[in-house]
Structure 1
């Protein structure tokens, strides 16, 4: 479908065939991002991996992310952080077993603590840096998903000043910058004093500071770039992981048979063990099917971050001029009846004898995008989601509060969460 949003042609891609053409056949042509004044304002002139233009700079910083920050070896080095924080979450649920639990709050807190420790070195309490980090992060993600009329109709840029959008972007950007400066200064001071923590994996700030000092990238990694990369990791990791977990728990609460089947699998592997560990996850095929089915119905980012064609291209026989934006509709693709039987039904079993991958190699389910601009953090996200889900269903029987009906209304933003919190009752499982 071709739309004209003001002066910009925008292609909406909603089928597997067209997305395969974009992300595989003509991936290079579609590897840049359209300019966004909101993103520029929030991410230091779009200097992060997710929103930067396709250029030598982008190739270098993506290489830093893939090889230095999110490699399999680096992801494994943070295993103890994931296991500790997920254990803390289980303790928190156990303490609230006598009352209704806000699962969103519990999942968000766990995810934020993992990302804090991995990216920033320690947990930061809300208000510690003079800002409410959780609230500011929510505003940040909401702004990234805000339609900016000035980007499409330039002579209407003044509208953003009247509506207060420009002011809101400036305020959130300043709050985030203050927080990131505090984190970087803390690390630099600790490094100057030689206070390295023995036996602990380096956090992402330490790694980025080493790269900055060593000039390993071939381009100067300036302070703004460093902060933009941290913000990419901090915001993308937190929001997408806990949103995926919340939708998974929502679907399992609505489908008790799927919940029971998952509990039986996890508890079978955990028999005689105090805890499920990451070593157990590879054998849990139904667990993986549950997560894939949730991503199919509820991709955390249903409209993938827009791309823009760098030259004219033929797409399924149509001529597409250069500078055409494309929005990939992952939500519609996941519910396409040409690809799926009973697409609106939640049926994890459909993935049990399927080779469909969710890391961008198969285009029927693309929660992490694909091609050059695919999310480099998919491995980190998937292992955190799998372990958290396995631990929850191992330790507790969960149910909706009596008389409670699930409101499936979604909120707006770049990531699409449930509008209302997910409330549940948890009963400790005893063998």
Structure 2
């Protein structure tokens, strides 16, 4: 979500469109508020509301600062759109569990409408029968434990290729961030499509651009009642061009699967499963081609971006904390000792590595702001949440709140020893994959890739930073918040080093 650039473009457009601005101001003044117990709210400006509070900071940082000043349940106005920001576990429990059906929708945006086929997917789909059906298909068919295991050979093959590339780069500066992203995108491609498709680079480019524009801060998103501003929203036309390019790539993929052209290893991939479900004609709501394309774009986006981001943050934290890295490497090398290669099952016994991954996801949740939308007016922490309000759970803020975490800014995997916090959201101060009905269904698929990649990187190589440099931990823009700059490191093969 690029607040700085979006706000600048929106402001410029609004002031150029003075008559439209005037009409919107009159309309907003005529709208009488009927919610008498809205949460606390910072000062706002006419027309744009609270957007100016978000300028110059990353969204999760800006919202955390506002919540610290005005309270853990905060009301904002983004143009015409009401938003409620949740930054405490108690309030998050009400939204994600107690009031889950009432707050189980997704916010609407031109980005999700255009690039995800009118929200025909799972991630952005409105709550209802379609969403429930697609969720069942994802949990029982696409991302079941059996299917995740069946993709093990694909994961292993891609990670082995990375290890081979690193051996050739031994002793030299290596861009680990780019290499890890290539591994996760290729793995996701092969699991979803049966092979690394010809248009993968174009898919990656469109995915990154599209996800950036799903934050709800485009001109048409801020003023949904204005048909004129919707027409004048430049990014709408940019998204439509991207959608046409996306169609060309995905239509070919679906057509090839209908012609029974199998993937590299045979068996069913995710597109095969969706086509089989479409053709069995037993579903309550038939699956359309738009559903298939939206779901596989979902899978590619989530399976690539969030997984690679987690691996990259984990390696960056390990580089900054050599004692933690040495402990993780000692555990891995002891578990693998005497074997000719590292197997995917070896990660099951790696207790400390799992703590490292948990701590990485606490400090750096892949999606720091979890978006919901209110389907019916409800109460949270005693405050009214208006119908159709955006409800944003600040997972990043809760995972760093000193009320719930000892030394929250420190990377300390041992904090999870004996802890009941898990990836399923049992503890609401720790929800890296969300919680409730709309928790991420791809946890197993993503963690399998994260674990195998880290095991291979830490087993086969020792790592150091180039002389005179340190790890840059600056965060980048986007819905999935990764590191701003690449992680450039020097690998040394473990085979040529002193054994731990």
Quick check: TM above 0.5?
A: yes
Q: Deviations over 1:58-113 (max 9, x none)?
A: 11111111111011111111111111111111111111113211001110111011
2:409 maps to which residue?
A: 344
1: CA distance between counterparts of 2:348 and 2:434? Answer: 23
1:164 maps to which residue?
A: 234
1: CA distance between counterparts of 2:243 and 2:314? Answer: 32
Per-residue deviation, 1:310: 1.6
Which residue of 109, 115, 132 maps to 2:202?
132
CA change 1:308–1:288 in 2 (3 A) is same
1: CA distance between counterparts of 2:172 and 2:384? Answer: 59
Which residue of 423, 434, 453 maps to 1:369?
434
2: CA distance between counterparts of 1:386 and 1:157? Answer: 48
Which residue of 187, 201, 205 maps to 1:114?
187
CA change 1:75–1:403 in 2 (3 A) is same
CA change 1:256–1:2 in 2 (3 A) is same
1: CA distance between counterparts of 2:227 and 2:355? Answer: 46
More deviation, 197-206/368-377:
197-206
Q: Spell out the pairing of 1:64-103 with structure 2 (5 A cutoff).
A: 64-103=137-176
Q: Report 1 or 2 for greater relative contact order, CA contacts < 8 Å, sequence distance ≥ 6.
A: 1
1: CA distance between counterparts of 2:306 and 2:83? Answer: 25
Q: SS of the counterpart of 2:302? A: helix
1: CA distance between counterparts of 2:380 and 2:243? Answer: 38
1:241 maps to which residue?
A: 307
1:178 maps to which residue?
A: 248
Which residue of 435, 450, 469 maps to 1:404?
469
CA change 1:335–1:168 in 2 (3 A) is same
Per-residue deviation, 1:183: 0.8
1: CA distance between counterparts of 2:321 and 2:201? Answer: 39
Q: Deviations over 1:353-383 (max 9, x none)?
A: 2121023232121111111111100111111
Per-residue deviation, 1:5: 1.7
Question: Which ranges in structure 1 are unaligned for 5 or more consecutive residues?
Answer: none
2: CA distance between counterparts of 1:151 and 1:229? Answer: 23
Question: Which ranges in structure 2 are unaligned for 5 or more consecutive residues?
Answer: 1-73
CA contact (8 A) 2:194 2:262 kept: no
Q: Deviations over 1:166-225 (max 9, x none)?
A: 222112222221111111111122x2xxx5579733101111111111123221111001
1:253 maps to which residue?
A: 319
1: CA distance between counterparts of 2:83 and 2:167? Answer: 49
1: CA distance between counterparts of 2:441 and 2:253? Answer: 23
Per-residue deviation, 1:144: 2.5
1:264 maps to which residue?
A: 330
1:40 maps to which residue?
A: 113
Asked whether 1:142 is paired with 2:142, we answer no
Q: SS of the counterpart of 1:132? A: helix
Q: SS of the counterpart of 2:432? A: coil
2: CA distance between counterparts of 1:163 and 1:154? Answer: 11
CA change 1:335–1:157 in 2 (3 A) is farther
CA contact (8 A) 2:110 2:236 kept: no
What TM-score, normalized to structure 1?
Answer: 0.94
Q: CA RMSD in A?
A: 1.9
CA change 1:145–1:100 in 2 (3 A) is farther
Asked whether 1:23 is paired with 2:96, we answer yes
CA change 1:129–1:390 in 2 (3 A) is closer
Which residue of 254, 270, 279 maps to 2:345?
279
2: CA distance between counterparts of 1:160 and 1:258? Answer: 51
2:27 maps to which residue?
A: none
CA contact (8 A) 2:78 2:222 kept: yes
2: CA distance between counterparts of 1:85 and 1:151? Answer: 39
CA change 1:157–1:343 in 2 (3 A) is farther
Number of equivalences? 423
Per-residue deviation, 1:418: 1.2
Q: Deviations over 1:241-263 (max 9, x none)?
A: 00010011111111111111110
Per-residue deviation, 1:275: 2.3
1:200 maps to which residue?
A: 266
CA contact (8 A) 1:145 1:412 kept: no
Asked whether 1:53 is paired with 2:126, we answer yes
Asked whether 1:153 is paired with 2:205, we answer no
Which residue of 288, 291, 295 maps to 1:225?
291
1:4 maps to which residue?
A: 77
Q: Spell out the pairing of 1:293-332 with structure 2 (5 A cutoff).
A: 293-304=359-370, 306-332=371-397
More deviation, 197-206/25-34:
197-206
Larger radius of gyration: 2
Per-residue deviation, 1:274: 2.2
CA change 1:155–1:22 in 2 (3 A) is closer
CA contact (8 A) 1:131 1:175 kept: no
CA contact (8 A) 1:334 1:365 kept: yes
